Amino acid sequence: MKSIKDYPGKYTYFIVLSIFTAAGNMGVIYMVNQIINNYFSGTPVVQFKYLLYFTLCLLLFFTCRWLVSLGIVRFTQKLLRETRLEVLRMVIRSTFESLGRNKERIFMSLTRDVDIVVNASINVVDIVTNAVVILICLIYMATLSWKLLLCMLGLIAFTLLIYFLSEKRARQLFKAAFVFNEQFVKYLNEILGGFKEITMERKKGFEILDSHIDGSVRQASGLYQKAQVNFLTNRIIGQMAFYIFIGLLLLFLGDLFNISRGVTVNFIFLILYIWSPIETVVLLIPNFSQAGVSVKRLAELESRIMVDKAADIRSPGRAVFAKLELNDISYKYASAKKEQEDAEFGIGPLDFILEKGDVVFISGGNGSGKTTFMNVLTGIFKNAEGQISVDGERIPDPQSYDYQSLFAPVFQDFHLFDQCYGIENIDVEKANEYLRLFGIDNKVTFDGNRFSSINLSAGQRKRLALICSMLEKKPVLVLDEFAADQDPDFKRRFYTQIIPYLKMQEFTLVAITHDDNYYQYADKLYKMDSGRLNEVMLETQTQTI
């Protein structure tokens, strides 16, 4: 993640302007004190001179303050945009498995953690500005009375001690609150993702709300409240300490240190003025506490997400292949408890050979491991054991872009994007030919980058997803239960006309299917049973469908 050290010029610019802003501000305060001293001493006030100085100080303050405010607004938005894009680039390069385990953390990072960190980084400028004001005030106080300055420094030390003692406790509360916020996001996604089912039975939604969301929101709110009340209490204590000090100065300290009334008034005026920048600096402590938690969470997210940093999506990938082999491949789903290892589900060890132009069907019962095999084949899941090779070359990382660029899948739980992303120079004529081939040219048109509509039936949406995959021109099409959502007429057309067409177009096809009436249209048939893959001999007879 980007930090202050990545923008030294910007922060230097803001700090310099802030120093000039503070100088203009303090110039006004100095003149006010000088005029007060003239009143106490009976010295005539040269109005024109002070008016000129006052105007110049105000112009300096206004100009520098406006420039730094405008710069901070622009820079904040730029930093926020770049940080969010940086997180998203990391997410896009991550593996499917690591992404699935960290969805809630990613959402919180993009919507909350990034905002907190960016705002805290800009608060550095406010801290420097107010620190300069405080320093100038203290120097000025020293010229008035070093004894009162020592008392003032003791008061400031007392105030800061109170805040720093509570800061550690508040950080722990913020960290705990973030955990409950993640739970809130998780179950919010449950409601949004399963809203069709909730529509049929509202009790499901209310049970999620009452059992999970309500408790998470209450816990997070309570923790935030404790942290903020902690800071608020300390703020009130610090403010009371300043008022007590003013009272002591008026009643006792002035006489004790033999200080004139004019100096006493000047000092009280400075105390009242310096309290605001001190309070501002102290009030930023909660922001930095939250930012510290957010920075750690972003760092943890970066370590949790497995990123293929070597992947170069600008490379063409593998446009062709002759033979793909899986040898002794195994995969097991991770178990949350070690004692459950014997009950872990997985596939393998298994062997599989795919040659260019093959039409391969994978059959098997529900839960036999067909989809898991497809995920391993395409690199969505990384095999625990065994070896994958392409054209005799061992693939060290099946989740690399070089290997995964072989496949264009249509998953059973596919997502249909609103346009064909990631495809350069789309062949519009070919897209329209595919629409006619799939029988939806009367419902959808293609304008060169997107389809006119994706509001279709489930089966028709799946056809559009396959058309997008075909337009990618990748050598291997991978289909998971593609025909299951299709009407009988199109299903017959898919097996008898479209699959031969795909073969003629030099696509290689791997498809999970239960349609045993059409197995004869495959070159190879495999059956998955309890995680084991076995080739089945096909009948050579030809059926007329």
| Residue 330 pLDDT grade (very low, low, confident, very high; cuts 50, 70, 90) | very high
Mean pLDDT score, 17-41: 81
How far is the CA of 344 from the CAs of 330, 331, 347, in angstroms? 12, 10, 10
Cβ neighbours of 122 (radius 10 Å): 17
pTM assigned to the model: 0.67
Whole-number pLDDT of residue 316: 62
pLDDT of 342: 46
State the CATH class of domain 323-536.
alpha beta
Pairwise CA distance, residues 369 & 374, whole Å? 9
- When pLDDT is averaged across residues 497-513 and rounded to a whole number, the result is 94
The C-alpha atoms of residue 435 and residue 456 are separated, in whole angstroms, by 14
Q: How confident is the model at residue 114 (pLDDT cuts 50, 70, 90)?
A: confident
Structural contact between residues 471 and 505, judged by C-beta atoms closer than 8 angstroms: no
pLDDT-based confidence at residue 273 (cuts at 50, 70, 90) = confident
Vertex 35: Cα angle to 29 and 39 (nearest 5) = 145
Where in the chain do CATH 1.20.1560.10 domains reside?
Answer: 4-304
The confidence score (pLDDT) of residue 339 equals: 45
Q: What is the mean pLDDT of residues 216-241?
A: 83
pLDDT at 200: 67
Quick one: pLDDT at residue 335? 58
Cα separation, 32 vs 30, whole angstroms: 5
pLDDT of residue 2: 58
Say whether pLDDT at 186 is over 90. Answer: no
Residue 306 has pLDDT above 70, yes or no: no
Q: Which residues contact 459 (CB under 8 A, 6 or more apart)?
A: 485, 486, 487, 490
Closest C-alpha among 213, 219, 112 to residue 176: 219
> Which residues of the chain form CATH 3.40.50.300?
323-536
In whole angstroms, what is the distance from residue 133 CA to residue 18 CA?
Answer: 10
Report which of residues 513 and 126 the model is more confident about.
Answer: 513
pLDDT band at 409 (very low <50, low <70, confident <90, very high): very high
Whole-angstrom distance, CA of residue 422 vs CA of residue 468:
10
* Residues facing 353 on adjacent strands: 325
Q: What is the pLDDT of residue 1?
A: 56
Domain range 4-304, CATH architecture: Up-down Bundle (1.20)
Question: CA–CA separation, 305 vs 308, rounded Å?
Answer: 10
Q: Are 271 and 245 in contact (CB under 8 A)?
A: yes
**Mean predicted confidence (pLDDT) in 230-257:** 83
Least confident of 196-200, 222-226, 380-384, 403-407: 196-200
- pLDDT over 80 (residue 304): no
SS3 sequence of 76-100:
HHHHHHHHHHHHHHHHHCECHHHHH
Mean pLDDT estimate for the chain: 83
pLDDT beyond 50 at 542:
no
Q: Which of 43-47, 63-67, 175-179, 224-228 has the lowest mean pLDDT?
A: 43-47
pLDDT of residue 298: 79
